[in-house]
Amino acid sequence: MLKKVFRSGFLVRSGHTVLTWLITLVLFLHDTDLRRCEEKGELMQPVVFSLLVLLSVLLYFTVSLMDPGFILTDTVQGPPGAGEEQEAMLPQTAVRRLRRCGYCLLQQPMRAKHCQACQRCVRKFDHHCPWIENCVGEQNHRWFLLYLLVQLGALTWAFHLALSGLSWPQVGLGPWLRAHGVLLGCVGVTGVFSMVVLVLLGCHLYLASTNTTTWEFMSRPRISYLRGWGDGEENPFDRGLLCNLWDFFCVCRTVAWDRVYQRAHRDHV
């Protein structure tokens, strides 16, 4: 794991961590609600805020360093003849042969894709996130969404705290900017990142509720198993809102998406 930390993502992860704790330190040192609570001896808000920030950093490194679902070997096949028997019962349009990746030469299960940045094939590939310097795939997608939720809470709270330290200038604008410039920068940074994380969280909640990935949503016309399905908007993996969310958050095993696809095709016809 240490080797992975010091690879190409080291600067991104270090920058994220330093910026997070730097903003937190600024909020404690300036005349914000946190500082006023400390002076009054009311430690609940400072402690809870610090724990939320710590949780966001821990989740960031969890998502950043964990295996997103890299394919290390060729997909293990079932018992001899089992695949042929299943395929014989289905129309030829429902049968999707595993293809070999043109880069790493491994068999790709359905919904897998080769990531050019990681140089690996990833199960249920969603996207490569430069923010975490890792792919988002089958094994870490739920953790990525949980991280976005916690990060949004920390950012919006920090934005509110930074605003609480600002007041209308009683003197000239120059002295006021010198006194509040750093805090004003925190307002800008936390405000912008709050909007970015909110949009990302909304998009990924929608994708989770429809059992779709970012790659499938953006590249549907170029994906063979989706291109000829239904009227162009249907999704063979969609099992309804509640089932999709249950599978996304609660099912931790590797899913054989080709079998799910075959069952959906059987029900569809």
| Catalytic residue set | 129
How far apart, in whole angstroms, are the C-alpha atoms of residue 241 and residue 257?
A: 18
How far apart, in whole angstroms, are the C-alpha atoms of residue 250 and residue 133?
A: 25
Contact indicator for 142, 248 with CB cutoff of 8 Å: yes
144-153: burial string, b at 16+ Cβ within 10 Å, e else: bbbbbebbbb
Token pair in block for residue 33 = 């609600």
